[in-house]
């Protein structure tokens, strides 16, 4: 997985460098998103790692409580633990990668502003070399997107994308 991630990041860096040579204007930041990776289980939630504790501290308590309530409505598990958080700028005409873990990453292609607010996105959830989910959606403030990921350990991974 590390080699795939390194290749993806290198490809992104090279793409941006080539585009920078073609156009002297810096890329336009259309929005900023948070990608959160949760572990959902019916078992007792394991003790959080230091990285997970730090990620949870960076999310306001009211936002975290709201996310857990929404997760419980959308997914059948009883316990939800934040494993990781990654903030990413969405650049016009560039793909962006939200990488909250070594196992899963999310490719986001911005398709510009939505008619009624928010931003049009094309999402691809990747696990190693495999695309698990593809979706076109509109991401709006206060309306996170929940993407059910693969089964993991005795539970399931869930990706949440929120507009900052």
Look up residue 45 and give its DSSP letter.
Answer: P
Measured between alpha carbons, how far is 146 from 27 in angstroms, rounded to an integer?
28
Span 41-51, average pLDDT = 74
Q: Would 19 be classed as within a structural domain?
A: no
Q: Would 8 be classed as within a structural domain?
A: no
How many domains is the chain partitioned into structurally? 1
Q: How confident is the model at residue 51 (pLDDT cuts 50, 70, 90)?
A: low
The residue range of the domain holding 111 is: 27-163
Q: Would 13 be classed as within a structural domain?
A: no
Q: Would 20 be classed as within a structural domain?
A: no
Q: Would 3 be classed as within a structural domain?
A: no
Residues whose CB falls within 8 Å of the CB of residue 77, separated by 6 or more in sequence, listed in order = 40, 41, 42, 71, 155, 156
Q: Which of 109, 116, 160, 103 is nearest to 134 (CA)?
A: 109
Q: Would 40 be classed as within a structural domain?
A: yes
Q: Would 11 be classed as within a structural domain?
A: no
**For 109-160, how does the pLDDT look when each residue is reduced to its tens digit (9 = 90+)?**
888 888 888 888 898 988 888 898 899 999 998 899 898 877 788 888 888 9
Please report the pLDDT score of residue 144 as a whole number. Answer: 92
Measured between alpha carbons, how far is 87 from 92 in angstroms, rounded to an integer?
16
Q: Which residue has the tokens 């900023």?
A: 32
* HEC per residue, 61-75: HHHHHHHHHHHHHHC
Q: Can you give the length of the chain in residues?
A: 164
Q: Would 146 be classed as within a structural domain?
A: yes
């Amino acid at each position: 997985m590390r080699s795939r991630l390194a290749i993806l990041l290198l490809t992104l860096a090279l793409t941006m460098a080539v585009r920078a040579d073609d156009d002297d204007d810096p890329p336009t930041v259309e929005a900023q998103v948070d990608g959160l990776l949760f572990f959902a289980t019916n078992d007792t939630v394991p003790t959080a790692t230091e990285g997970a504790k730090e990620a949870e501290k960076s999310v306001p308590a009211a936002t975290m409580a709201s996310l857990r309530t929404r997760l419980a409505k959308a997914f059948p598990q009883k316990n939800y633990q934040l494993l990781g958080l990654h903030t990413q700028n969405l650049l016009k005409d560039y793909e962006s990668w939200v990488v909250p873990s070594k196992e899963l990453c999310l490719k986001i292609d911005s398709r510009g502003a939505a008619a009624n607010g928010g931003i049009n996105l094309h999402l691809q959830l990747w696990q190693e070399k495999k695309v698990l989910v593809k979706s076109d959606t509109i991401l709006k403030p206060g309306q996170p997107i929940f993407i059910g990921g693969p089964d993991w350990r005795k539970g399931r991974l869930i990706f949440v994308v929120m507009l900052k």
